[in-house]
């Protein structure tokens, strides 16, 4: 059985031993993994090498946010690692995102490979309207998410990271070819943890998400494979409705 690539499992661990244990437990039920800051800063690029050897797709989630040239050069280096998807913070601005997109495309052309997808983080899913307001923003959080998604699309990016609650608005604003990756997915009965803007797997797909990033509800339980299979079943059931 080949895993449904709409499901991306977050490897929010800090050792190669734990990575290998999870990947072996999940087997062919999961084909797509997210490598974030905790893991990448702990073990470096060896985790990318390992996952590629296992024929897994990789979302390298480092959320670059700096001046345009620095982000462009950083992404050019990351493109060499062979991940399938990279990301930046949309709040870095239009010029930064445009520079990032060009850098990834140019590096991939030099390497004669298919460029990784480049997506932008809109507003972190841990943030709610109240916290958004403490930053001095008067705008509605969901409106800002859609605005940033449209800006990312204009800059030449392939999609965004956004909460499932804004996915429907983004899909309407940016069309069907725009990638929407949604963290904050919690199966029924799962702990919310530090997420604020959440949805169930079926709810996120219904709202237009392409990929669901799920971590602790799979990696933090006794039987990760069974948890993944249960989520995949919910996703398949939604697709057949």
The residues annotated as belonging to the active site are 63
HSE, CB side, 13 Å, CA atoms: give it for residue 83: 26
CA distance 16 to 13: 8
Cβ-proximal residues to 114 (8 Å cutoff; 6+ apart), any chain: 108
- What is the maximal distance between C-alpha atoms in the chain? 49
Beta-bridge partners for 87? 119
Q: For residues 104 and 89, what is the distance between their CA atoms, to the nearest angstrom? A: 15
Q: How many angstroms separate the CA atoms of 73 and 64, rounded?
A: 11
d(CA 193, CA 205): 21
């Amino acid at each position: 059985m080949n895993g449904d690539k709409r499901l991306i499992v977050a490897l929010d661990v800090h050792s190669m031993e734990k990575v290998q244990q999870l990947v072996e437990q999940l087997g062919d039920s999961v084909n797509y993994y997210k490598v974030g800051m905790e893991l990448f800063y702990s073990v470096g690029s060896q985790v990318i090498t390992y996952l590629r050897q296992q024929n897994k797709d990789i979302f390298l989630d480092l959320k670059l946010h700096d001046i345009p040239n620095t982000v462009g050069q950083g992404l050019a280096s990351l493109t060499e690692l062979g991940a399938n998807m990279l990301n930046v913070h949309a709040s870095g601005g239009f010029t930064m995102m445009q520079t990032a997109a060009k850098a990834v495309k140019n590096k991939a052309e030099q390497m004669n490979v298919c460029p990784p997808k480049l997506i932008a983080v809109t507003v972190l899913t841990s943030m709610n309207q109240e916290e958004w307001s403490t930053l001095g923003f008067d705008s509605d959080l969901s409106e800002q998410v859609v605005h940033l998604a449209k800006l990312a699309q204009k800059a030449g990016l392939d999609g965004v990271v956004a909460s499932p609650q804004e996915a429907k608005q983004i899909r309407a604003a940016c069309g069907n070819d725009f990638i929407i990756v949604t963290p904050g997915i919690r199966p029924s009965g799962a702990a919310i943890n530090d997420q604020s803007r959440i949805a169930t797997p079926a709810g996120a797909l219904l709202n237009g998400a392409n990929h669901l990033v799920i971590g602790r509800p799979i990696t933090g339980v006794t039987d990760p494979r069974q948890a993944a299979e249960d989520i995949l079943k919910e996703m398949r059931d939604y697709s057949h409705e």
